[in-house]
Amino acid sequence: MPLTDNAMSPGAIRRKLRGLAAVFLDPAATEAEKVNAETLMTRLEKQLPQEATPRWTDMMFRLGRGVKQMTSVPSPKGDWTDHAFRLGRMLRRARKK
């Protein structure tokens, strides 16, 4: 819960920063638009909080959730290759996120 009504979530700030970055890549954007986008980007970057939790904790959470899901559902065959396949798929998905 934000302390003020004006506070935005980090995800919303990142989306706005991506939109402003698109202005720089737009060949039809004028110099004035690029200057305005740059000042808005610096202002939004100041509002963006620093990540307090390391990235590996998120990966470990997803890994634990995947292991829990994998062990709760009985595999149809129970062969070791099926377990290796599911573990590999889970690790690939965790690495993407």
Q: Is residue 73 part of a domain?
A: yes
Q: Is residue 4 part of a domain?
A: no
For the chain, 97 residues long, give each residue's pLDDT as a single digit of tens.
444 545 677 778 888 888 888 888 888 989 999 999 999 989 888 887 776 556 677 778 888 887 887 776 565 666 777 778 888 888 888 887 6
Q: Which residues contact 94 (CB under 8 A, 6 or more apart)?
A: 59, 62, 63, 66
Residues 34 and 67 in one domain: no
Residues 89 and 60 in one domain: yes
Q: Which residue range is the domain that position 85 belongs to?
A: 55-96
Q: Is residue 68 part of a domain?
A: yes
Structure tokens at 26: 């737009």
Q: State how many domains the chain has.
A: 2
Q: Is residue 24 part of a domain?
A: yes
CA distance 33 to 11: 24
CA gyration radius, the chain: 21
Residues 66 and 89 in one domain: yes
Instruction: Sort 74 into a burial class: Cβ within 10 Å, 0-12 / 13-18 / 19+.
Output: exposed
